[in-house]
Amino acid sequence: MSLDLDPIEARVLGCLAEKDMATPEYYPLSLNALVNACNQKSNRDPVVAYDDATVREALNSLRDQGLAVFISEAGSRVEKYRHRLSERFNFTRGELALLSVLLLRGPQTPGELRQRTERLHDFGDLDTLHYSLDRLAAREPDPLVKQLDRVPGMKESRWAHLLSGEPRLSAGGTVATVHTSALHERVEQLEREVAALRQDLSELRDKLSPLLG
């Protein structure tokens, strides 16, 4: 089954995978730790500012898709979360490292990927890294990464993950991802909530206006 994660779901999933590999002693993650991981300013592109509700909504969606699980540990009242990428796809450590960095930083060249996965997995050389990328690209029934067309002025082609649909290269060389209706539904929901808040504010003003003269 192909996946079509929205940008928030991709960020949350990438953070879970990254922290699993980089700091296993603090994994699985609490909601607070996961929000901080999503919003950290290093090793992220773009930098975001998600709140608890946004991350929890993404977690619920990832759980429904079989990509995350909620854990209640004995003696702890704090629910924690972990990814299920390894169980779902039977990744090697190198493949999981590549996918987590692509989820967190977008399309990158093999040289960039080797540098940015160093703390997660040592590929040794670029040939080994290319082998892992090729394995991910040859996955059946659905490939998980794709080599993009080389942008004029760049020496290397970049690779992108396919967990958020097919990447599309713009004229300026940036990558936009084609999503289904999930993101549009979220925007519409937020618009409805804003409209309801405005209505509540208007009614409150009407009630207070006689008191304020």
The CB density around residue 44, as the number of other CB atoms within 10 Å, is 18
Share of the chain above pLDDT 70, in %: 86
* Encoded tokens for 19: 């922290």
Is CATH 1.10.10.10 the classification given to domain 7-180? Answer: yes
pTM: 0.79
**Residue 115 in this model has a pLDDT that exceeds 60:** yes
Give the chain's mean pLDDT: 88
Selection from 139, 137, 112, 136 nearest residue 126 by Cα = 112
- Mean pLDDT for 118-137 is 97
Predicted pLDDT of residue 188: 54
Query: Strand, coil or helix: what is 54?
Result: helix
Given pLDDT bands bounded at 50, 70 and 90, which one contains residue 181? very low
Output phi, psi for 114, to 5 deg: -65, -45
Q: Where are the domains of the chain?
A: 7-180
- Mean pLDDT for 150-168 is 90
Residue indicated by tokens 């080994």: 128
Tell which phi-psi region holds residue 136, choosing left (phi > 0), alpha (psi between -120 and 50) or beta.
alpha
- Mean pLDDT for 174-181 is 49
Contact 3, 144 (CB under 8 A): no
Whole-angstrom distance, CA of residue 88 vs CA of residue 50: 26
Q: Which residue has the higher pLDDT, 94 or 150?
A: 94
Whole-angstrom distance, CA of residue 154 vs CA of residue 209: 62
Q: Which residue has the higher pLDDT, 67 or 72?
A: 67
Share of the chain above pLDDT 90, in %: 70
- Mean pLDDT for 27-54 is 97
